[in-house]
Amino acid sequence: MKGRAYMSYMKLPHNHHNEIDNTELLEQLNDIQHFQIVSELFKQLSDPTRVRLFWLLCHCEECVLNLSAMMKMTSPAISHHLRELRNKDLVSSRRVGKEVYYKSANTEQSVLLHKMIERILMITCPEHKE
């Protein structure tokens, strides 16, 4: 409560003559752990290979061998990227006998990131423009 009381009385150095109460905004801003979670999620997509792999798995379900062929990479390299994506709950897997199939996870964050990637491609790539 002490932090909350401080926030509600925080005087900013530059007065813009607006009467907006920034208490809730400042409380969220100071919740560093939430921003750390977002940052960790975006770190997974800072690697172009992972973005491509994630995007591909948003459109199909495949095994490592087929993903390796599609991405023109070795199976161990694909497995490494899949492990990173799974650790952040962006990719899920299912086993059928000895074969493991991967696809994008059915989570809100996965769906949102897929939409974001598709929209950025539309905006930035001339051949994807609407």
DSSP 128: G
In the chain, how many domains are there? 1
| The pLDDT of residue 111 | 93
**What's the burial of 59, exposed, middle or buried (CB within 10 Å: 0-12/13-18/19+)?**
exposed
| The pLDDT of residue 7 | 43
Q: Give the tokens for residue 127.
A: 């051949």
Q: Is residue 39 domain-resident?
A: no
pLDDT-based confidence at 59, cuts 50/70/90? very high
Evaluate if residue 5 carries a pLDDT over 60.
Answer: no
CA proximity to 101, closest of 111, 109, 113, 93 = 93
Q: Give the tokens for residue 110.
A: 């996965």
Q: Is residue 97 domain-resident?
A: yes
Q: Is residue 77 domain-resident?
A: yes
Q: Is residue 17 domain-resident?
A: no
| CATH number of the domain to which 114 belongs | 1.10.10.10
Decide: 54 and 113 in contact? Cβ < 8 Å: yes
Vertex 111: Cα angle to 110 and 116 (nearest 5): 95
- The pTM of the full predicted model, rounded to 2 decimals, is 0.76
Decide: 85 and 105 in contact? Cβ < 8 Å: no
As a whole number of angstroms, the distance between CA 63 and CA 84 comes to 16
| The pLDDT of residue 128 | 54
Residue span of the structural domain in which 99 resides: 48-124
Q: Is residue 68 domain-resident?
A: yes
